[in-house]
Amino acid sequence: MKKSVTVRVPATSANCGPGFDSLGLALTLYNEFTFTIFDNKFGFFLDVEGEGKDSFHPSGRNMAFASFLAVWNKITNRQRIGIHVKMKNQVPKSRGLGSSSTAIVAGVTAASILSGANLSHDEILQEANKLEGHPDNVAPAIYGGFTISFQENGVAHTLRTIPKMPLQFVAVVPDMQLSTHLAREAIPKEISHSDAVFNASRTALLTAALLEDRPELLQYALEDKLHQPYRAKLIPGLPEVFAAGEAAGAYKCIISGSGSTLLAYASPEKDGDVIGRAMVDAFAQCGQKSVYHILQLDTEGTKIWETE
């Protein structure tokens, strides 16, 4: 039985504007996890480098440990072990870039390998979806690329594609965290029929535009009436930052996941630094510090870097 495995998982951006809880894509920003198990000492041991290093703790509530144990206990009938996790984080926590999904996917993947079960990608998706509750973040984290996901009777299904349209993504990350729970609470329980039609048409248009390389349609295809109008009030300066990004050359700006990160979709021919600086400056004028990352679409998904 292997004793140690290193798993790298990409950041993700869920919803992609109109595709609430169904669309997602993987980005070239990564969290790396090394899981080591011991059969001669017990408990949780944790080392963290990088983003949010002081906010993670070695306990069963940590998603890396919790997801690992959920699968390990299921496969091994609760074989008792000690677990050491080393995290190297690039993905900011509670910012709408799938930080929790990286931990969930890494834990499930590591438990699959170290237990000897060697689950398939689809089996990893099912286990990760049970822990996350919806597949729009975990699916692109596993498969990479652009994913269209749905659930049927509790079973997650995903279609993974690589858009024909070349894109770069400028992720502008404010200092403020935004919990997924708070962001979901902001959304009304019911919406009008006209808003449902609006989002259905935009989701279909976005998928077709990406696959057919029709960038002129993105200004319409990335529009949303299901969640962004209600979450906008949770992110001070959002209208100004959106306007600044689009004035600087982005096709369109959206809320990444549940926020607080704002994501600009742009042509690779545009200067990402110009877009990023414009959006950061707009946030600053609204009293919010932020940083930006120029990212590409990750097409590999979860990678196993090494085992021993």
Per residue of the chain (308 residues), what is the pLDDT tens digit? 679 999 999 999 999 999 999 999 999 999 999 999 998 889 999 999 998 888 899 888 899 999 999 999 999 998 999 999 999 999 999 899 999 999 999 999 999 999 999 999 999 999 999 999 899 999 999 999 999 999 999 999 999 999 999 999 999 999 998 888 898 999 999 999 999 999 999 999 999 999 999 999 999 999 999 999 999 999 999 999 999 999 999 999 999 999 999 999 999 999 999 999 999 999 999 999 999 999 999 999 999 986 65
The torsion of the CA quartet 190, 191, 196, 199, rounded to 10 degrees, works out to -110
What DSSP designation does 248 have? T
- 39 CB-contact burial (10 Å; exposed 0-12 / middle 13-18 / buried 19+): exposed
The pLDDT score that the predictor gives to residue 146 is 98
CATH class name, domain 168-295: alpha beta
State if pTM tops 0.85. Answer: yes
The pLDDT score that the predictor gives to residue 78 is 87
The owner of tokens 């300066």 is: 237
| Residues whose CB falls within 8 Å of the CB of residue 29, separated by 6 or more in sequence, listed in order | 10, 11, 90, 91, 97, 171, 293, 295
What is the rounded distance in angstroms from the CA atom of residue 136 to the CA atom of residue 142? Answer: 11
The pLDDT score that the predictor gives to residue 140 is 98
Helix axes 99-114, 135-143, angle to 10 degrees: 60
The pLDDT score that the predictor gives to residue 307 is 62
Domain with CATH 3.30.70.890 in the chain: 168-295
Domain with CATH 3.30.230.10 in the chain: 4-162+298-307
The pLDDT score that the predictor gives to residue 53 is 86
The pLDDT score that the predictor gives to residue 306 is 67
- 84 CB-contact burial (10 Å; exposed 0-12 / middle 13-18 / buried 19+): middle
- Half-sphere exposure (Cβ direction) of 305: Cα atoms closer than 13 Å: 12
What SS3 state is found at 295? Answer: strand
The pLDDT score that the predictor gives to residue 1 is 62
Q: Tell me which fold the domain 4-162+298-307 belongs to.
A: Ribosomal Protein S5; domain 2 (3.30.230)
Count of CB atoms within 10 A of residue 181's CB?
8
